[in-house]
Amino acid sequence: METRLLKKNEQAPLELLLTADPSATLIKGYLDRGHCYIAEIDNQTAGVYVLVENNSDTAELINIAANEKHQGKGIGKALVKDAIQKAKDMGYKTIEVGTGNSSISQLALYQKCGFRITAVDKDFFIKNYEEEIFENGIQCMDMIKLAQEL
């Protein structure tokens, strides 16, 4: 798997980004502020993630999504590891990520990749999304924030 920065005139894979974040408005906002990386296998998009600078020392992994046909093959973990390395290469000291309280597999993945829970933003998804989100039979209400020192 190769990752590359999205080219200036290239459209971000919105449909894939929407699988991780149902708000096209929020996606557009962080695409404008961040760096979108595309992961390719055999010249086809296998995954995507967006890194945004929070401050001069901290990058945030905002959206990470693996193409459905590549899920379950370690693409998500490879994307997270790639984002960590890119953040290190850019000179950041910390990388952060947030996920929903109902995103059980994502919470496990981030912790397996070395992230630690740092905070809970209560009602984040209730305040920022028009429609209710359910995953794993659980309503997504709170943002679980995690971080890793680089």
Q: How far is CA 114 from the centre of its chain?
A: 15
The CATH number of domain 2-149, selected from 3.50.50.60, 3.40.630.30, 1.10.10.10, 3.40.50.1000: 3.40.630.30
Sheet holding 143-149, edge to edge: 2-5, 34-41, 44-55, 58-66, 94-100, 143-149, 116-121
The answer to whether 79 touches 47, Cβ cutoff 8 Å, is yes
pLDDT at 118 over 90: yes
DSSP bridge partners of 149: 94
Residue 54 — φ and ψ, nearest 5°? -85, -40
The pLDDT value recorded for residue 43 is 86
Q: Is the pLDDT of residue 1 over 90?
A: no
| Confidence tier at 84 by pLDDT (50, 70, 90) | very high
Q: What is the mean pLDDT of the chain?
A: 94
What residue segments make up the domains of the chain, in order of their start? Answer: 2-149
- What pLDDT band is residue 56 in, cutting at 50, 70 and 90? very high
pLDDT in the model for residue 70: 78
pLDDT at 68 exceeding the cut of 90:
no
What is the phi/psi pair of residue 29, to 5°?
A: -60, -45
Q: Which long-range contacts (CB under 8 A, 24 or more apart) does 19-24 make?
A: 19/65, 19/68, 20/63, 20/64, 20/65, 21/63, 22/129, 22/131, 22/133, 23/128, 23/129
- Give pLDDT, residue 94: 98
Mean pLDDT of 81-107: 97
Q: Contact, 14 vs 25, CB < 8 A? A: no
Structure tokens at 46: 């296998």
CA distance 73 to 113: 16
